[in-house]
Amino acid sequence: MGSDKVKLLGAWQSPYVMRARIALHMKSVEYEYEEEDLYVAKSDLLLKSNPVYKKVPVFIHADRPVSESLVILQYINEVWASGPAILPSDAYDRAIARFWAAYIDDKWFPHLRASVLSGGEEAKSAAEKTAEGLVLLEEAFTMCSKGHKFFGGERIGYLDIALGSFLGWIRVTEQRANASLIDESKTPKLSEWAQHFCADVVVKDVMHQTDKLFEFAKLLAAKHKSSGEN
């Protein structure tokens, strides 16, 4: 089954798409990447493959689509089981990794998103809450890493991918809010972890370029402001 054709529908700016790409690189899976223009016209394949959310990433394996980035990570880990493990082998460690990944997406990321899209005091407040969440994740790193380089040990794993995919957007937030979110004084372990993560061979070719992402963020914030969204 693992030898069947693989395609990934994505958008270059998406941290969620980056998650899938990192996992595929970890497992040395060859795949076809198809860029989607989410703001002009979504492809028929995307709408057909993910009719519920109509968003990327969509992972298509043997003509069968799988949606939602964390679900895709788990799918890749199970199908290409012979490669480096993405999820921990211990059941409790897997549960903890899934817990913190859910925290990142459901509780922490909304603050990061608000810090990018909003302005003034609202952006400042959102950046502060983003930083508070990173302090909490610093504590999670201490617990999960057990003294190793990554959340997952000596290799990048599930929780590393879940948080590391946002590093480009964290840098954008730091520039836009003129604030330091990950640094040696506030989150020394995450600061060192981020350097290891970005330098890893499975990550460095897909990590966002900060300047390019910053320009995209300005356009996104302007669009958000003109639409009057909350």
pLDDT in tens, 197-218: 999 999 999 999 999 999 999 9
Return d(Cα 117, Cα 34) in angstroms, integer: 26
Q: What percent of the chain has pLDDT over 70?
A: 97
Q: pLDDT value at position 169? A: 96
What helix, strand, coil percent values describe the chain, rounded to 5? 55, 10, 35
Strand arrangement of the beta sheet that strand 58-61 belongs to:
32-35, 6-10, 58-61, 64-67
User: Mean pLDDT in the chain?
Assistant: 94
Return d(Cα 109, Cα 126) in angstroms, integer: 10
Pair (124, 76) in one structural domain? no
- CA neighbor of 101 nearest in space, from 217, 19, 170: 19
Domain of 120, in residue numbers: 91-228
Q: Is residue 68 part of a domain?
A: yes
**What pTM was computed for the model?**
0.94
Pair (64, 122) in one structural domain? no
CA angle, 70 then 74 then 79, to 5°: 145
Pair (192, 109) in one structural domain? yes
Instruction: Convert the pLDDT of each residue in 6-51 to its tens digit.
Output: 999 999 999 999 999 999 999 999 999 999 999 889 999 999 999 9
Helix axes 109-117, 120-145, angle to 10 degrees: 150
Which residue matches tokens 């004084």?
185
Q: Is residue 190 part of a domain?
A: yes
Q: Is residue 85 part of a domain?
A: no
Contact yes or no for 56/13 (Cβ under 8 A): no
Q: pLDDT value at position 228? A: 62
Pair (195, 221) in one structural domain? yes
Q: How far is CA 82 from the centre of its chain?
A: 24
Pair (96, 49) in one structural domain? no
Upper half-sphere CA count for residue 201 (Cβ side, 13 Å) = 5
Contact yes or no for 150/157 (Cβ under 8 A): yes
Q: pLDDT-based confidence at 131, cuts 50/70/90?
A: very high
Q: pLDDT value at position 226? A: 78
